[in-house]
């Protein structure tokens, strides 16, 4: 499912206001991650209920956890890069960087 960039930007604003808390809606509808909606729904339920996943779908739960680790590492790298750019920028350039980021 294609989500327009301006809608994604709105979501980022919500995340900032909520202190970074996310729901799992994005997890289900990530384009190219799952073969069909049924698979996406199952994976979302396993992610939401890891105790059940450990008992009945341990291989799928491990796949989800590996994806979360990879996504967390990628997010940390991106945030670190953005921070270093802001730190090197002159005060008048910082506002321009913030505008370009949105």
Domain boundary assignment for the chain: 5-101
Task: Please choose, from the candidates 3, 5, 4, the residue with its C-alpha nearest in 3D space to the C-alpha of residue 102.
Answer: 5
Give the global pTM: 0.48
Q: What is the pLDDT of residues 13-71, one digit of tens each?
A: 877 876 665 555 566 666 777 788 888 889 989 998 999 999 999 999 999 999 889 88
Give the span between the Cα atoms of 52 and 61, in whole angstroms. Answer: 9
Q: State the Cα–Cα distance between residues 12 and 17, nearest whole angstrom.
A: 9
What does the alpha-carbon distance between residue 22 and residue 44 come to, in Å, rounded to a whole number?
Answer: 13
- Helix, strand, or coil (residue 31): coil
Write out pLDDT tens, residues 75-84.
Answer: 777 666 555 5
Q: How far apart are CA 89 and CA 77, in angstroms?
A: 19
């Amino acid at each position: 499912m294609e989500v327009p960039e301006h809608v994604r930007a709105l979501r980022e604003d919500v995340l900032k206001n909520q202190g970074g808390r996310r729901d799992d809606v994005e997890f289900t509808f990530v384009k190219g991650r799952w073969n069909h909606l049924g698979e996406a729904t199952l994976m979302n339920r396993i992610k939401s209920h890891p105790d059940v996943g450990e008992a009945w779908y341990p291989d799928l739960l491990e796949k989800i956890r590996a994806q979360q680790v990879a996504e967390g590492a990628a997010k940390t790298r991106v945030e670190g890069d953005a921070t270093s750019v802001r730190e090197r920028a002159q005060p008048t350039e910082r506002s321009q960087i913030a505008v370009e980021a949105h």
